[in-house]
Structure 1
Amino acid sequence: MKEKKSNFSGSIGFVLAAAGSAVGVGNIWRFPYLCAKDGGGLFLIVYLALVLSFGFVLLTTDIAIGRHTKQNALKAFGTLNSKWKFLGYLTFLVPALIMTYYSVIGGWITKYFCTYLVSDGSILSQDSYFTSFITSKVSPIVFMLLFLALTAWVVYRGVEKGIEKFSRFIMPGLILLILGIAIFSLTLSYTDANGTVRTGLQGLKVYLYPDFSSLTVKRFLGVLLDAMSQLFFSLSVSMGIMVTYGSYVKDDVDLNKSINQIEIFDTGVAFLAGMMIIPAVFVFLGTDGMASGPSLIFISLPKVFASMGAIGRIIAIAFFLMMGFAALTSCVSVMETLVANCMEIFHKSRQKMCAVIGIYSLVTAVLICLGYNILYFEVKLPNGTVAQLLDIMDYISNSFLMPFISLLTSILIGWVVGPKLIIDEVERNGEHFKRAKLYCFMIRYVVPVVMLILFLVSTGII
């Protein structure tokens, strides 16, 4: 089989690029909220267990399929078994849907970062500011364009000169920023109007201490489903990204070691995100301050920064710079997957396909922006939540397609192709796959059952 011309230069470049894809805004605005909602340390324990079991299985499968076939996701599954090529088309849909709104969120982050750069940012802490911003007709589109242009530029430069070089610079910076802000959060203290003193260390206890009070089977299942859904957000699995990145990995790279490093990177950043946000929000807003999704980043945290006084602006600039790094590395991986697949479909150059995907991303992102004003509507999703355009795209990609794709992939590898193919790929260079037995058991018996349950729950069937 002909070797692909585009490759990561080595294991470090691959790990940083893959970790950059995995570390996105989902880690930072979703992980802390779920942790606060689901009993602090209880969620952490469940999530860590899932990372070491399900996360490792799904990540190993995607990356090994990519390297074994030297194909992007669109053709990789058909290469394994011609009757399963439809699975490649399903995986292509996920990044195609995610790309419609990810640059919009990146634009929001860019707006907040720029506002803190040129002002004290006090306007951002007002209750109505975020709503007035996203419902305006021009400003969200302008900042989305800035973010999308930078994303397209990185992808345009290619795998080694673009994605890898960018990740080598951005990822260490992201880690240093998030670590610095997390440490600073632990030093905070605040006395409210009632004279109650709240400290960052008390917030850390809220974050780490497992809350087993009123633990029931129903509550535990809720925590389990939250942690599992976060796993998809966190590891970029079942969306073709890791298959595509795996196809760029050279044969002499130790996959076993690289996958372990990606797991550590991603889980470590998610943990630090919780340590960064939960203590800070607890100090200034109490236990009721944790909001879900964008509200946490764009409404709750600006209030926290405003309460810090003069240093709050500096911390806010560092925070939104870090958020921008996280969003950019993830958006680059999504666009790269689309570009790489389209290069194989149409047999055109990277530059031409990057232009085409860029135009697609621009048009669809503008529609998402207009979904908050001119095109605004609400529908009730099968899982019971009320959604508008961005939420619909997110639901279809993350709650519907990704569990379904994981279910089908586990059946393909576990029962059709056989797990030995993946194990042999991991052990290609003679390295021992220590978790091979666990992998076989999980991919054949556990993953299909759990993915089916998660799919049925997320679609409202059960």
Structure 2
Amino acid sequence: MNNRSEFSSKLGFVLAAAGSAVGLGNIWRFPYLAAKYGGGLFLLIYIFFVVTFGFAIMMVEIAIGRKTKLSPIGAYKALHTKYSFIGIIASLVAFLILPYYSVIGGWVIKYFVTFLTGGQAATANDTFFVTFITSPLQPVLWQIVFVLATLAVVWRGVKDGIEKASKILMPMLVVLSVGVALYALTLPGAFEGVKYFLIPDFSRFSVQAVLAALGQMFYSLSLAMGVMITYGSYLNKDDDLEKSVKQIEFFDAGIAILAGFMIIPAVFAFSGGDEAALNAGPGLMFVTLPKVFDTMGMSALVGGIFFLLVLFAALTSAISLMEAVVSTVCDQFKFSRKKSALIVAFTAIILGIPSSLGNGIWSHFTVMNMAFLDLMDFITNAVLMPIGALLTCIFIGYVIGVDAIVDEVKKSSQFKREKVFRIMIKYVAPICIIAILISSVLSAFGIIVL
């Protein structure tokens, strides 16, 4: 008999799953992609994909978890003995993302502590970020702190750890997001940034913008990494699955939009309306924003609150990644939760060290001109996740049949979007995923898709 833990309420599940979806992908990655690909245009494309493509894939993964009550490998094996390899790919993605994600989480803790201790002026210096990430010791130490903070929650289990933490962190994250966004909107010149972010400029439309929005949707919803299957396995059979997925989508898109309001108007205000300042790419949060905060009154307070917010978002996603791997270890090796959690945490620390040092003393080790952290991001997000999602669509659409998922959803939901779901899984999603995969691989070799 499967005595698997369950969330004590649908709210607990929604907040935990939303916490997984709401992470650095929303607050760090979404704003710089929106800035790069035309603001309002990118936002419009992104929301469209969240409510269609994202809805379909998330529905499949949570339904698989709830139907089988197993972690990814066991779940796919239970549905068809020859297809457990899809679960292996999903589990491998979470296993590989957690170490380098923890490195970035460590960066966030470093910035939060720096602002908390009054060192905010130093962060505005052009050399601060580079000096920090190239240090042979500091990034590793902060990464360990981040992993241990994640372990402290996962160690306590589903109800006492993940659910309780989510019920505290998610509301605080929303409140802080609204507060920082409102403050950013009061800055002189911020309104130009609001217009850039909200009003689509269709002259900026490109295939790259579409593929970037697709990739961002994938990344931010925690799809194809075993997380939603794992959380779905803890979901009560009576909880409305379709409604839960809609609520997770709302949280995810809402926080991404708030992140845009926090960052893009503030950068416009700081730069005097110069759009070039938005092209800082991944460094937008760690390099450009500290300069913005330094020009504000109460810079230590505002910056400290912002990086606390980012830390909460990073932790909720890291918790879900660690839980997906811990659940798999428990199921496959029959270890206790605490033993599994310790093994996973220790492994994440060890595997994270190359990502930490790859920016500094190990920077001469590159593959395809990518440092170790960038390489791991490419392997997981650009290759394994699309492959896993594509195989899942084929598996559901053409092996076991879409009805297997529809029947599971209808046990607790009316499934109003059933027709859209069927079309997306069998036809649209596979084509979109193949486009993401091809585009990502070509880009890695310097071939730009027009």
Q: TM-score, normalised by structure 1?
A: 0.93
On the 8 A contact 1:29/1:292 being kept in 2, the answer is no
**Equivalent of 2:227, from 241, 256, 262?**
241
What is the alpha-carbon distance in structure 1 between the residues aligned to residue 439 and residue 202 of structure 2?
24
Name the SS for the 2:312 alignment partner: helix
Aligned residue-pair number: 442
What is the alpha-carbon distance in structure 1 between the residues aligned to residue 114 and residue 43 of structure 2?
34
The 5 A counterparts of 1:137-216 are 137-189=136-188, 199-213=189-203, 215=205
**1:83 matched residue in structure 2:** 82
Deviates more, 1:52-61 or 1:76-85: 76-85
Deviates more, 1:254-263 or 1:369-378: 369-378
Amino acid at match of 2:286: F
1:314-355 deviation digits (Å, cap 9, x = unpaired): 110110000000000000110111110001111010011111
Name the SS for the 1:5 alignment partner: coil
**1:227 matched residue in structure 2:** 213
The 5 A counterparts of 1:291-370 are 291-308=279-296, 310-370=297-357
1:380/1:358 Cα in 2 relative to 1: closer, same or farther (>3 Å)?
Answer: closer
**1:95 matched residue in structure 2:** 94
What is the alpha-carbon distance in structure 2 between the residues aligned to residue 368 and residue 388 of structure 1?
8
On the 8 A contact 2:41/2:204 being kept in 1, the answer is no
Amino acid at match of 2:22: V
1:457 is aligned to 2:439: yes
On the 8 A contact 2:34/2:197 being kept in 1, the answer is yes
Amino acid at match of 2:431: V
1:209-250 deviation digits (Å, cap 9, x = unpaired): 1112264xxx1x111100000011110011100000000001
**Equivalent of 2:277, from 289, 292, 303?**
289
Q: What is the CA-CA distance between 1:374 and the residue it aligns to?
A: 2.7
**1:272 matched residue in structure 2:** 258
Name the SS for the 1:188 alignment partner: coil
1:104-126 deviation digits (Å, cap 9, x = unpaired): 11111101111111114100110
1:333-391 deviation digits (Å, cap 9, x = unpaired): 1011111000111101001111111110111122221222232235464xxxx420000
**1:134 matched residue in structure 2:** 133
**2:106 matched residue in structure 1:** 107
Amino acid at match of 1:252: D
1:267-290 deviation digits (Å, cap 9, x = unpaired): 000011001100001100231112
What is the alpha-carbon distance in structure 1 between the residues aligned to residue 280 and residue 333 of structure 2?
41
**Equivalent of 2:430, from 439, 448, 455?**
448
Name the SS for the 2:359 alignment partner: coil
**2:405 matched residue in structure 1:** 422
On the 8 A contact 2:390/2:430 being kept in 1, the answer is yes
Name the SS for the 1:85 alignment partner: helix
On the 8 A contact 1:4/1:248 being kept in 2, the answer is no
Q: What is the CA-CA distance between 1:45 and the residue it aligns to?
A: 1.2
On the 8 A contact 1:30/1:292 being kept in 2, the answer is no
**2:421 matched residue in structure 1:** 439
Unpaired segments of 5 or more residues in structure 1? 190-198
Q: What is the CA-CA distance between 1:206 and the residue it aligns to?
A: 1.1
Amino acid at match of 1:317: G
1:160-184 deviation digits (Å, cap 9, x = unpaired): 0000000000000000001111011
What is the alpha-carbon distance in structure 2 between the residues aligned to residue 65 and residue 135 of structure 1?
42
1:40-80 deviation digits (Å, cap 9, x = unpaired): 21111111111111000011010000000111012111111
* CA RMSD across the alignment: 1.3
**1:195 matched residue in structure 2:** none
Name the SS for the 2:416 alignment partner: coil
1:25 is aligned to 2:11: no
1:329/1:338 Cα in 2 relative to 1: closer, same or farther (>3 Å)?
Answer: same
On the 8 A contact 1:407/1:448 being kept in 2, the answer is yes
On the 8 A contact 2:358/2:365 being kept in 1, the answer is no
**1:390 matched residue in structure 2:** 373
Name the SS for the 1:127 alignment partner: coil
What is the alpha-carbon distance in structure 2 between the residues aligned to residue 14 and residue 155 of structure 1?
15
**Equivalent of 1:255, from 225, 241, 249?**
241
1:397/1:132 Cα in 2 relative to 1: closer, same or farther (>3 Å)?
Answer: same
Amino acid at match of 2:422: C
Q: What is the CA-CA distance between 1:98 and the residue it aligns to?
A: 0.4
On the 8 A contact 1:291/1:300 being kept in 2, the answer is no
1:406 is aligned to 2:389: yes
On the 8 A contact 1:4/1:70 being kept in 2, the answer is no
1:266/1:377 Cα in 2 relative to 1: closer, same or farther (>3 Å)?
Answer: same
Unpaired segments of 5 or more residues in structure 2? none
Amino acid at match of 1:327: A
Percent identical pairs in the alignment equals 45
Amino acid at match of 1:417: I
What is the alpha-carbon distance in structure 2 between the residues aligned to residue 155 and residue 214 of structure 1?
43
What is the alpha-carbon distance in structure 2 between the residues aligned to residue 164 and residue 22 of structure 1?
15
Amino acid at match of 1:388: A
On the 8 A contact 1:141/1:369 being kept in 2, the answer is yes
Name the SS for the 2:362 alignment partner: coil
**1:116 matched residue in structure 2:** 115
On the 8 A contact 1:69/1:79 being kept in 2, the answer is yes
Name the SS for the 1:375 alignment partner: coil
Name the SS for the 2:4 alignment partner: coil
**1:53 matched residue in structure 2:** 52
On the 8 A contact 1:75/1:88 being kept in 2, the answer is yes
On the 8 A contact 2:211/2:435 being kept in 1, the answer is no
What is the alpha-carbon distance in structure 2 between the residues aligned to residue 100 and residue 242 of structure 1?
19
